[in-house]
Every structure is written in structure tokens, then in C-alpha cells.
Amino acid sequence: MERITEELRGMGFEGEIKEDILMRDYTSLRIGGICRLMVEPFDPYSLKLLVELLNSEGQSMVVIGGGTNLLVSDEGVDEVVVRLRNWRKVEIVETYRDEVVVFAESGIPLQTLLNFCAEKGFSGLEGLVGIPGTLGGAVSGNAGAFGYEIMDRVDRITIMDKDRMEVIKRDTLTPGYRNGAVKGIVLAVHLRLYRDDTESIKNRMREFLEIKKGTQPLNEHSAGCVFKNPEGDYAGRLIEEAGLKGFRIGDIEISRKHANFFINLGRGTSRDFIGLMRKVQEEVDRRFSIMLEPEIKMIGQGINAH
């Protein structure tokens, strides 16, 4: 890793390079061991230099956004972790009578983008209110709620695949439930939105947020929904029916407010989190013959082997 740092510094790379940081400081769950190298390129050229260098060194990498859908191993991460947190530009690029196209860079916090759109009177993203993390993370996982999904509003996506930048039209992709179906690193997104008045948009956002606050533990350390909803049902309902609300392993507890959220009470570990996932999968399978599939993304050493 030291060689990568030195080479980057010597080749005109602009960005932040952090060594031996704790991943728990970069995730909403507050879990995760040491990452030997985290790199935050400031511009596409620096990202390209980084990707080329890592490819030539045979060093793998993983991109993260706000870390709000992530479980990171207690044993740390071997990959170089890349963040685009400084990529936050947002601008209106096409305007029509009823529609607009907004360009936004992938590191922008999703809620900053929603507020920008509400102020300008651009509708289409209201259901995503209260979802933490970045636009890049939202597109990668096709984040959604209240019948809204981000990919429904995407017109095209600028990505870096290997070391090539490409613009992918939305209609060439087949996104699904919590799957944006995008390959490579999401650099920026063009969103197609409708004109509406700011007050109506804000009212819808307030209503959705009230419901979200009433049903989800928004102020606790979680990674959102742990499992995907199975076809025609809700993972939270199944976990609750299995009698597991409030069940705890170590410092990881199944939320009493919403059973598909696992809360880190303070000293939670990825080992306990995975243990709790297994317990839930076994109980739900035993009772309802349904195998729940993880929605959260897992990274780091041995994370699937606990």
C-alpha cells in the first residue's frame, strides 16, 4: 500500500489519501475494522490515474458512498476503498415546458439533492426523503420507498468502467428491486424530473418523512433494511411474526420499531451482526419456508465466512 501512496503522489494525483483508518467511522452502523488505504480523488483524471495504477498493481478496490447500506468486517478491508465525497456538483442542464433534466455528481448526499429539487419545483424524488447516503449509492442499489425508485427518474449515468468513462442510457439497463444494474463506478447522473410547485413537493416530502420517522429507527446506528422483502410480503413482518423483535446477539439488536432494522447498541461487531442475520434466516425459513436475502452490502475480510 505504501508504494501505491507514493506512486499516486508522484503522478499528479489530486485528492485525499488516508492510511490505516477505521471503517467504523465511515459507516452508519459504526462497525468495521482497519482499511489500509482510503482514497478520495478530487476529479475524473485523478480517479482514472488511481484506477489505472490499481489495475497495473493487481490491487482490487471497492467504492463506497455514505456507508449507510454497508456491513464492514471487524477484520478490516484488504481492498483500496474509494470515495467520491467531494463530487457534489448539481445543475439544471435541460428545461422543457413540463420537464427538466438535472445533472448531479454521485457524491452529493441524496437529501441535499432532494432539497435542491424541492426548492426549484422539480418533482419525482419525494418518496426518497429521509434515505441517507449519496446519489451514487442510491443508484447502485436502486434505492426506493413509498412506490418511488431512483432508477425511474434516471435518464443517463456517467460511469467509469475499468479506466474508461462512458455514458449509459437508462433504457439500456434493466434495474430491479434494490439493484441499479449499473456496472463500474457511478460518477454522475442525469435525472429527468417534472415541474410542480415547491409547496406541494415539500408537503409530500413532509408526509413521507413523518411516516418514515414513525415506523423506522432513524436515529439509531443501523444500515437500513437488512433483508430484501420477499415477493408479496415484508421481511419486517416475517421477522416480527417469528417473535424476534428485540432479540439480541452481543450489542446488535433487532429493532423494536421495525424488525428489518438491526441496531448497533454501541459495541456491536460484524460477527454478531452476521450471527443475528443467520438466526433470523433460520427462524423465518423454519416458520414460513422463506429464505430471506440480504439487502445490505458486505465488504471486508472473511465477512461471509463467520
Contact positions vs ligand FAD (CB under 6 A): 28, 62-70, 84, 106, 131-134, 136-138, 140-141, 143-145, 185-186, 216, 218, 222-224, 297
**Spatial distance between the Cα atoms of 82 and 75, rounded to a whole number of angstroms:** 18
- R_g of the chain, CA atoms, integer Å: 20
Query: Which residue type is seen at 88?
Result: R
- Distance in Å, CB of 115 to ligand FAD, minimum: 16
> Toward ligand FAD, which CB reaches closer, 264 or 283?
264
Cα torsion through 186, 192, 195, 197, rounded to 10 = -20
Q: What's the gap between Cα 116 and its chain centre?
A: 20
Residue 67 vs 175, nearer CB to ligand FAD: 67
To ligand FAD, the closest distance from the beta carbon of 12 in angstroms equals 23
Nearer to ligand FAD, 9 or 206 (CB): 206
- Nearest approach in angstroms of CB 38 to ligand FAD is 12
Element (H, E) at 4: helix 2-10
Could you tell me the smallest distance in angstroms from the CB atom of residue 128 to ligand FAD? 7
Grid cell digits, residue 36? 489500509
Residue with Cβ nearer ligand FAD (8 or 29) = 29
Taking the complex as a whole, the smallest distance from the CB of residue 5 to ligand FAD amounts, in Å, to 22
Q: By C-alpha distance, which of 103, 72, 110, 78 is closest to 89?
A: 103
Cα(215)–Cα(223) distance, integer angstroms: 15
All three cell numbers of 101, joined, read 433534466
Pick 41 or 65: Cβ nearer ligand FAD: 65
Query: β-strands 262-264, 148-149: how paired?
Result: unpaired
Query: Which residues neighbour 74 within 8 Å (Cβ) at sequence distance 6 or greater?
Result: 31, 32, 33, 269, 270, 271, 300
* Closest CB to ligand FAD among residues 129, 283: 129
Least Å distance, CB 10 to ligand FAD, is: 26
